[in-house]
Amino acid sequence: MKFLTSISLAFALTMTPAPALAQSNWNQPAEPYHVAGNIYYVGTEGLGAYLFTGSSGHVLLDGTTPEGAAIIEANITKLGFKLGDVKILLNSHAHFDHSGGLAKLKADTGAQLVAMEGDVSALEGGFYLGSEDVKAMSAPPVKVDRIIKDGDKVSLEGIELTANLTAGHSRGCTSWGAKVSEGGKTYDVLVFCSATVAANRITPPLQYEDIVEDYRATFAKTKTMKVDIPLAPHTEFFGLLAKRDQAKADKAVNPFVDPGAFQPFTAKLEADFEKTLRERTAKGQ
Ligand SMILES: [Zn+2]
């Protein structure tokens, strides 16, 4: 979830939950495209969704918004895949801009929803954990079929994804890792959940217990991760829109292979988090 600075400031100053301000490209249709190996982008212009294809069915990661679900479905079909072949649904985190479309996608595909334990209550309750009464941040409730923990794997023939808990942004924030082969090389892919502060209260009253410890554990973990192809639920992360345009213009190189991008990106998020925490603590917020 991304907020305009003025909204974040207003939120920080008043400590009353501000309604989420959707960005204009969140529900804007986008052309689907091939990322690498068996991975396709099927999201909207602003919100990522990824299809991992296999010989016995596919895995869809993220549902974007309730409105975005129809865009994802059209994109899957446009690529020549069948909705009914989507067997597993995954989520980066239980915020309405990434989980809001899951209920429709689950109904239309018949897929099983697999989710990290920390996000199950929010997914099934249709709320933003710690801001349960904020209607603007709610999502259609969706039943979780399999509850997973850090390090668990999700597989279908030709697909294996590893769930890396990177909590803080949400309690079950999950960065999904996979290996893909392309042009005789194997790459480490990570669909990084997020670790922005966004709407979260990181000083008392905390968004949820242990949120600060969770963010710090996430930053400790990301430092150990090797990522060749960084992807994300927001297209402004890792310059994904520019990479898409570059891929279209030049078929000879794959711009999504960008091994230098992940560490500086997460280092900046860590610095932002610690700065925000210091400022809010100093203000007694
Ligand atoms: Zn979010």
For position 170, what pLDDT does the model report? Answer: 98
Q: Where are the domains of the chain?
A: 25-282
Q: Which residues contact 217 (CB under 8 A, 6 or more apart)?
A: 167, 168
Ligand 1 geometric centre to CA of 232 (Å):
11
Q: Alpha carbon of 138 to those of 21, 126, 242: distances in Å?
A: 13, 6, 31
241 Cα distance to chain centroid: 16
Q: How many residues does the chain have?
A: 285
Structure-token match 């920080």, residue found: 12
Ligand 1 geometric centre to CA of 165 (Å):
14
For position 86, what pLDDT does the model report? Answer: 98
How far is residue 8's CA from residue 274's CA, in Å, rounded to a whole number? Answer: 16
For position 16, what pLDDT does the model report? Answer: 36
Looking at every residue in the chain, the average pLDDT score rounds to 93
Ligand 1 geometric centre to CA of 248 (Å):
28
Ligand 1 geometric centre to CA of 2 (Å):
7
Ligand 1 geometric centre to CA of 34 (Å):
25
Compute the average pLDDT of residues 43-47: 98
Ligand 1 geometric centre to CA of 272 (Å):
16
Ligand 1 geometric centre to CA of 225 (Å):
21
ω into 205 cis (within 30 of 0): yes
Q: Which residues contact 158 (CB under 8 A, 6 or more apart)?
A: 38, 53, 54, 55, 56
How far is residue 1's CA from residue 133's CA, in Å, rounded to a whole number? Answer: 17
Q: pLDDT of 203-255, one tens digit each?
A: 999 999 999 999 999 999 999 999 999 999 999 999 999 999 999 998 889 99
- The answer as to CATH 3.60.15.10 being correct for domain 25-282 is yes
pLDDT higher than threshold 70 for residue 57: yes
